[in-house]
Amino acid sequence: MELLSHMALGAQVLFTPANFFFCFIGVLMGTLVGVLPGLGPTAAIALLLPSTFHIPPVTAIIMLAGIYYGAMYGGSTTSILVNIPGEAASVITCLDGYQMALKGRAGPALGIAAFGSFIAGTISIIGLMLVAPPLAKFALAFGPPEYFALMLLGMVVLIYLVAGSMLKALMIGVFGLLLTTIGMDSISGTQRLTFGILEFSDGVGLIPAIMGLFGVAEVIVNLEEGITRTVVTTRIRDFLPNLQDWKNSFWPILRGSVLGFFIGVLPGPAPVISAFSSSATEKKLSKYPERFGTGVIEGVAGPEAANNAATGGAFIPLFTLGIPCNSVIAVLLGAFMIYGIQPGPMMIAKYPELFWGTVMSMYLGNAMLLVLNLPLIGLWVQVLKVPYPLLFPIILLFCLVGVFSLNYSSVEVALMIGFGVFGYLARKFHYEMAPLVLALVLGPMMENNMRLSLVISQGDPMIFVTHPISAGLMAATFVLLISPCIPWIANRRKRLQKKVGE
Amino acid sequence: MPFWSGIVLTVMAVILLLGSFKREEWQALPPFFPLADSWKRVLMAFLAMVAYLFLLESLGFTLVTFFFIAFLLKTIFPQKWKRTLIAASTTAILARLIFINFLETQLPLGFLGF
């Protein structure tokens, strides 16, 4: 009963014209950036953030969340029609989706991707509604040592999960933590590493960093080689999958949804990992695994469901613990803080209209995407035909203006260009950016909680292992950190990465 | 904390450096830039952004946006003059309408006042 009254509250918040409108704008923008290769949801949310400053926080969050799950829908369109994943999470959809398109079955592929995403999105929202409030109550027992241990674990899990060298991921994470120590020390009030630059006393801005790392660096990498692409020109008709398609996709969609939801809760690039694991699961369970990659509908339905479900799951750590588990959620956390809302265990109780409004908006947003995506596919194909040489100057312009309009500060724009150079070089040398972003977001919170714990224990670091919850979290962190040194686990990790790489 | 993260980072960098000396795949590394003229495009794009930053206050948003877009269109994947000018002026005018008139962003208007 309580749940129903909460849902009613959410619906009440949602069905104001402004919120309804911005939900629509959010999913529309999300689909657009999902369709455009080279501009992801992280950069898009960061770009649109400054423009939300004069609308109420609930409305802004509804729109920004719409961009996130909308991008997952858009990404699948480009994967199927052009064989270019607009989103990393749609890489796996290319395999079977594009093959289906080549066989003239682009319609059902797009259709099942949209329906599967809708069903999965719905399941994950129900999960979010059921899991988040009790988890938030549990999290109330957390003190500074537990928070520090949890954040440390979150970072280490992400570092463990990223592709490539774990040492490099660890380095980039520590570098991120080092960057967050720039600015005024929150406990003693001394200026650290600011070199007399006034703008740095607030620390390194998250938005310039993200725009540089994800917006500018991405464009520059694309500039090295001109992007050329060909759109499948077959006429797209019959979006409705037939009965056999539904029969084949029913279980993959359900399995993908549950899998995606739980992977979403974990730190890391959840939509990507969940899509890969769903594809692997379906292949294993299938009666004809050898036909995967030749255009079977299960290979589209499962991963598409999984990556959408993961977006819902990813909101759980944010709403209950105030901890983001991937870079998109990290930007959203930054947005919450700009609006003066501290996400965490108290958030659902303190701002019920915000939590339930956002959850209900995700439900509506998913329905909008279904209605929007199928008839508008023609439009998205036109968008894909905009030549990249005309597109990239506009993306760069948006980055520059977006950062400048945050605080009207040239220093921040310079910082963004600097991060662009850094992100470009890091990409060239195969450093992953996700740990850096997570470190930038978590760093200040981690340091605060660590130092508060040490104040409580009067400087005794044993506080992290004498509290039972934090001791458990610390132990898990330790095991993950030393695991690459144990050959048996290191080999398993490598094999897993190879599998994902294929 | 800055001190210790500095130490940890240095230690890891040394490990990585030693590791790369041990490896014997020097020749196998692909060239840094995928195409011969890639470096020019990368450099031009960064230069354009730096120039944008320095000229924004004096020239004003609309004008500097026009030059920025025109420069990028002409230098990176060279377009015809007609296309460049049309695209640059459309973008500059639309950007001005969206950011300054619609979103009311406080962007510098420059010495010409627009």
Highest mean pLDDT among A202-206, B41-45, B110-114: B41-45
Compute the distance between CA of residue A242 and CA of residue A108 in angstroms, rounded to an integer. Answer: 8
CB spacing of A177 vs B69 below 8 angstroms? no
Residue A112 has pLDDT above 60, yes or no: yes
Residue of A42, A17, A47, A13 whose CA lies nearest to A272: A42
**Closest chain A C-alpha to B111 CA, distance in angstroms:** 18
Chain A neighbours among B 72-91 (CB < 8 Å)? 72-73, 76-77, 79, 87, 91
Higher pLDDT, B102 or A250: A250
What is the rounded distance in angstroms from the CA atom of residue A427 to the CA atom of residue A431? 6
Enumerate the β-bridge partners of residue A185: none
Q: Which residue in A has a C-alpha nearest to residue B39's C-alpha?
A: A224
B93 has a chain A CB within 8 A of its CB: no
Selected for mutation to probe chain B from A220, A416, A425 (highest B CB count within 10 Å) is A220
Q: Are A237 and A105 in contact (CB under 8 A)?
A: no
Give the three-state DSSP class for A240.
coil
Question: Hey, is the C-beta of A417 within 8 angstroms of any chain B C-beta?
Answer: yes
Read off the pLDDT band of A502 (50, 70, 90): very low
Residue of A nearest to B7 (CA): A174
pLDDT reported for residue A418: 94
Of A220, A390, A397, the CB nearest to B42: A220
Please give the residue that has the higher pLDDT: either A432 or B55: B55
Please tell me the least confidently modeled range out of A194-198, A277-281, A449-453: A194-198
Three-state DSSP at B33 gives coil
The per-residue pLDDT of chain A, averaged, comes to 82
A401 at B interface, C-beta within 8 A: yes
d(CA A193, CA A312): 38
Is A389 in contact with B99 (Cβ distance < 8 A)? Answer: no
pLDDT of B29 over the 70 cut:
no
Let me know: does A75 contact A33? Beta carbons within 8 Å. no
Question: What is the length of chain A?
Answer: 502
Choose between B26 and A438: higher pLDDT.
A438
Q: 3-class SS at A184?
A: strand
Each residue's pLDDT tens digit, A53-70: 778 888 988 898 888 888
Judged against a pLDDT cut of 60, whether residue A131 lies above it is answered with yes
Q: Which two tokens stand for residue B18?
A: 């030693």
For range A276-290, the mean pLDDT: 83
Here the tokens at position A180 are 């967050």
Handedness of CA A431, A434, A437, A440 (dihedral sign): negative
Query: Which member of B8, B34, B72 has the closest CB to residue A225?
Result: B34
Give yes or no for a contact between A9 and A356, defined as CB atoms under 8 angstroms apart: yes
Q: How far apart are CA A498 and CA A383, in angstroms?
A: 34
pTM score of the predicted model? 0.80
Cβ A500 vs Cβ A177: under 8 Å: no
- Residue in chain B nearest A52 by alpha carbon: B103
- pLDDT given at position A415: 92
Which of A151, A180, A404 should we substitute to test contact with B (largest number of B Cβ atoms within 10 Å)?
Answer: A404
**Helix A17-35 vs helix A352-384: angle between axes, to the nearest 10 degrees?**
40
| DSSP per residue, A458-478 | TT-TTHHHHSHHHHHHHHHHH
Q: Distance from A307 to chain B by nearest Cα, in Å?
A: 32
Cα distance between residue A135 and residue A469, in whole Å: 14
- How many CB pairs (< 8 A) connect A and B? 110
pLDDT at B30 over 70: no
Task: Answer whether A401's CB lies under 8 Å from A215's CB.
Answer: no
| Residue A95: pLDDT over 70 | yes
Structure tokens at A118: 């809708």
Q: What is the mean pLDDT of residues B58-84?
A: 89
Single-letter amino acid, residue A385: K
Contact assignment for A51 to B32 by CB distance below 8 Å: no
Asked if residues A448 and A203 have their Cβ atoms less than 8 Å apart, the reply is no
Contact in structure between A76 and A210 (CB atoms under 8 Å): no
The alpha carbon of residue A11 is apart from the nearest alpha carbon of chain B, in Å, by: 28
Structure-token pair, residue B108: 């510098």
Q: In this model, does residue A228 exceed pLDDT 60?
A: no
Range in A25-34, A383-392, A410-419, B48-57 the model is least confident about: A383-392
Amino acid sitting at position A353: E
CA dihedral A147, A148, A153, A159 (to 10 degrees): 130
Residue A400 has pLDDT above 80, yes or no: yes
Q: Which A residues 217-256 touch B at CB under 8 Å?
A: 219-220, 223-226
Name which residue leads in pLDDT, A363 or A426.
A426
Residue of A287, A294, A276 whose CA lies nearest to A251: A287
Distance (Å) from the C-alpha of residue B5 to the closest C-alpha of chain A? Answer: 6
- Tell me how far apart the alpha carbons of residues A66 and A23 are, in angstroms, rounded to a whole number: 6
- E strand or H helix that includes residue A183: strand A183-184
Give the one of A224, A396, A397 whose C-beta lies nearest to B34's C-beta.
A224
Which residues in chain A have Cβ-Cβ distances shorter than 8 Å to B30? none
The pLDDT value given to residue A288: 83
Bridge partner list, A183: A192
Residue A498 pLDDT: 60
How close, in Å, is residue A212 to chain B by CA atoms?
11
Query: What would you measure as the largest C-alpha separation in chain A, in angstroms?
Result: 71
Query: What pLDDT was estimated at residue A86?
Result: 66
Alpha carbon distance B10, A164 (integer Å): 20
Would you say residue A211 has pLDDT above 70? yes
Q: Can you give the pLDDT at residue A99?
A: 85
Q: What is the DSSP letter of A213?
A: I
DSSP state of A37: T
User: Which pLDDT tens digit goes with each residue over A464-474?
Assistant: 889 888 998 89
Cα angle A176, A207, B68 (rounded to 5 degrees) comes to: 120
- Rounded Cα gap, residues A34 and A79, in angstroms: 10
What part of A 174-213 touches B (C-beta under 8 Å)? Answer: 174-175, 177-178, 181, 192-193
Beta bridge partners of A191: A184
CB contact under 8 A, B12 and A171: yes
Q: Are A158 and A477 in contact (CB under 8 A)?
A: no
φ and ψ at A262, to 5 degrees?
Answer: -70, -35
Q: What are the CA-CA distances from residue A122 to residues A116, A176, A311, A322 (Å)?
A: 10, 35, 11, 23
Does the structure show a pLDDT above 70 at A387? yes
Cβ-contact A419, A208 below 8 angstroms: yes
Q: Tokens 């714990």, residue? A: A453
Q: CA torsion A214→A216→A222→A228, rounded to 10°?
A: 100
- Test A413 with B69 for CB contact under 8 angstroms: no
Q: Taking Cα atoms as reference points, which of A483, A492, A452, A501 lies closest to residue A149?
A: A452
* CB atoms B45 and A170 under 8 Å: no
Q: A238 — alpha (psi -120 to 50), left (phi > 0) or beta?
A: left
pLDDT tens per residue, range A260-269: 888 888 766 6
Contact A396 B56 (CB under 8 A): no
* Nearest-CB residue to B13 (from A51, A171, A424): A171
ipTM given for this complex: 0.86
Tokens of A463: 């506080």
**Which among A80, A71, A89 has a CA at the least distance from the CA of A110?**
A80
The pLDDT value recorded for residue A232 is: 56
The pLDDT tens digits of the residues spanning A71-84 come to 878 888 877 887 77
The average pLDDT across A29-53 equals 78
Using the Cβ of A167 and the Cβ atoms of chain B, whether some distance falls under 8 Å is answered with yes
Tell me the mean pLDDT in the region A136-163. Answer: 82
Q: A234 pLDDT exceeds 60?
A: no
Is B47 an interface residue toward A (CB < 8 Å)? no
Name the minimum distance, in Å, from the CA of A364 to any CA of chain B. 26
Q: Tell me, what amino acid is at B98?
A: I
Q: How far, in Å, CA of A154 to CA of A14, rounded?
A: 32
Q: Which residues of A touch B4 (CB under 8 A)?
A: none
